[in-house]
Copies of this chain bind each other. A is one copy, B any other.
Amino acid sequence: MTISMYQASAPRFAHTLKNLSAVLDKAQAHCDAKKIDPLVLTGARLYPDMFAFARQVQVSCDTAKGALARLAAVEIPKHEDTEKTFEELQARIAKTLEFIGSVKPAQIDGSEEKEIVLKLRGKDVSFKGQAYLLGFAWPNFYFHVATAYNILRHNGVEIGKSDFLGAS
- Residues of A whose CB lies within 8 Å of any CB of B are 1-5, 7-8, 12, 15-16, 46-47, 50, 109-110, 112-113, 125, 127, 130-131, 134-136, 138-140, 142-143, 146-147, 149-150, 153-154, 156, 161, 164-165, 168
Contact = CB atoms under 8 A, between A and B. Distances in A.
Copies of this chain, tallied across the complex: 2
A161 B49 CA distance: 12
A168 B46 contact: no
Q: Which of A15, A46, A110, A125 has the most CB of B within 10 A?
A: A46
Nearest to A146: B146
Q: A-B pairs with the 5 shortest C-beta distances?
A: A142-B142, A2-B2, A146-B146, A3-B3, A46-B154
